[in-house]
Structure 1
Amino acid sequence: MSEIQSGSEVTDRAAQPVSNSPEADSSKRQTNEFHEVFRHLLRNRIAVAGLIIIGVFLVLSIFAPYFATHSPTATSLGNRLQGPSSEHWFGTDELGRDLFSRMLYGGRISMNIGVISTLIGLLIGVPIGAVSGYYGGKLDMIIQRFIDMLIAFPGILLAIVVVTVLGVGVQNVMIAVGIASVPLYARLVRGSVLAAKEQSYVTAAAAAGLRDWRIIFRHILPNCLAPIIVQSTFQIATAILWAAGLGFLGLGAQAPTPEWGAILSNGRAYIRSAHHLTTIPGIAILLMVLGFNLIGDGLRDALDPKTR
Structure 2
Amino acid sequence: MFEALSRHRLLIGGATLVILVALFGLVGQLLVPEEMAEVGAGRPAQKPSAEHWLGTDQQGRDVMADLIYGTPTSLEIGVIAGLVGVAVGALMGLIAGYAGGIVDEVIRIVMDVLLTIPGLMILIIVASMLGVV
Q: What TM-score do the two structures reach when normalised by structure 1?
A: 0.39
Report matched runs for 1:285-300 at 5 Å: none
Is the 8 Å Cα contact of residues 25 and 71 (structure 2) preserved in structure 1? yes
- Mapped pair 1:144 → 2:108: yes
- Mapped pair 1:116 → 2:80: yes
> Shift of residue 72 of structure 1?
5.5
**Higher RCO (CA < 8 A, seq sep 6+):** 1
Give SS of 1:96's match.
coil
Greater CA radius of gyration, 1 or 2?
1
* Aligned pair partner of 2:51 in 64, 71, 87: 87
Map Cα deviations across residues 255-284 of structure 1 (whole Å, 9 max, x no partner).
xxxxxxxxxxxxxxxxxxxxxxxxxxxxxx
2-structure distance, mates of 1:127, 1:56? 33
1-structure distance, mates of 2:41, 2:67? 19
> Shift of residue 55 of structure 1?
0.9
- Mapped pair 1:76 → 2:40: yes
Is the 8 Å Cα contact of residues 24 and 68 (structure 2) preserved in structure 1? yes
> Shift of residue 127 of structure 1?
1.5
1-structure distance, mates of 2:21, 2:41? 29
> Shift of residue 97 of structure 1?
0.3
Give SS of 1:93's match.
coil
Q: Which runs of 5+ in 2 are unaligned?
A: none
> Shift of residue 58 of structure 1?
0.4
Is the 8 Å Cα contact of residues 46 and 56 (structure 2) preserved in structure 1? yes
Is the 8 Å Cα contact of residues 88 and 98 (structure 1) preserved in structure 2? yes
2-structure distance, mates of 1:90, 1:69? 15
Which residue of structure 1 lines up, in the alignment, with residue 23 of structure 2?
A: 59
> Shift of residue 79 of structure 1?
0.7
How many residue pairs match? The answer is 133
* Aligned pair partner of 1:125 in 89, 94, 99: 89
Q: Taking every aligned residue pair, what percent have the same amino acid on both sides?
A: 33
CA distance change for structure 1 residues 78 and 58 in 2, over 3 Å: closer, same or farther?
A: closer
Give SS of 1:43's match.
coil
2-structure distance, mates of 1:141, 1:83? 57
* Aligned pair partner of 2:7 in 43, 52, 64: 43
> Shift of residue 60 of structure 1?
1.3
CA distance change for structure 1 residues 42 and 166 in 2, over 3 Å: closer, same or farther?
A: farther
- Mapped pair 1:158 → 2:129: no
C-alpha RMSD over aligned residues? 2.4
> Shift of residue 155 of structure 1?
1.6
2-structure distance, mates of 1:82, 1:67? 21
Q: What TM-score do the two structures reach when normalised by structure 2?
A: 0.82
